[in-house]
Chain A
Amino acid sequence: GAVVSQHPSRVICKSGTSVKIECRSLDFQATTMFWYRQFPKQSLMLMATSNEGSKATYEQGVEKDKFLINHASLTLSTLTVTSAHPEDSSFYICSASLGSQGDGYTFGSGTRLTVV
């Protein structure tokens, strides 16, 4: 089945620095990937839709310059949290789908970002 690998699983960074999170589709090509953010004990909020070879589509209220998304190949999408602040601390999860050809949506294992 479709597998999505997300790296790193945990990262701690200093305030003001940038952090890159990678999401790879291991055994399929993902023209579209989705990035979610999850606060403790809350649901997943869709941040943006990452499109291979074109600009990402951001949800309302998500800062494009803050959360940079790059989807340069059919198997890799990256989310960069720029100039991170403590309020950016959260659990970030990526997802991809094979659509009707697969079993729906597959999720990465998530990245726990802590900004100190």
Chain B
Amino acid sequence: AQSVTQLDSQVPVFEEAPVELRCNYSSSVSVYLFWYVQYPNQGLQLLLKYLSGSTLVKSINGFEAEFNKSQTSFHLRKPSVHISDTAEYFCAVSEGYSSASKIIFGSGTRLSIRP
């Protein structure tokens, strides 16, 4: 069975500083990896995903993540954060990409931005 580990429960950073949110996974088969963002009392929004191809994937708001198969990691990075990036970030993994495939979430990392 697949699992996801987010080592950092909270990451405080100053505005305009770089940030990395760590994510490691385990699975016996090929995986599809996701990062979701959740704002207070809201559902989840897809930030970016890795399905195949280029191991570096990017979002429209400056985040990027790199799939590293040898290290079983999918860390999320942003070179310069903004106050609006304050949210909970969840790494997730799925062993399939059909409409019936389950997606399993990590424990989440709360990103707090200080002015």
User: Using a CB–CB distance below 8 Å, which chain A residues touch chain B?
Assistant: 6, 30-32, 34, 36, 41-46, 49, 51, 91, 93, 95-100, 103-110, 112
Contact = CB atoms under 8 A, between A and B. Distances in A.
Interface residues of B, number: 25
A6 B107 contact: no
Interface centre among B44, B46, B99, B104 (most CB of A within 10 A): B99
Contacts, number: 70
Contacts of B49: 103-104
B102 A34 contact: yes
6 contacts: A41-B108, A45-B105, A96-B99, A99-B97, A103-B49, A109-B42
A31 B34 CA distance: 22
A110 B43 contact: yes
A78 B46 CA distance: 23
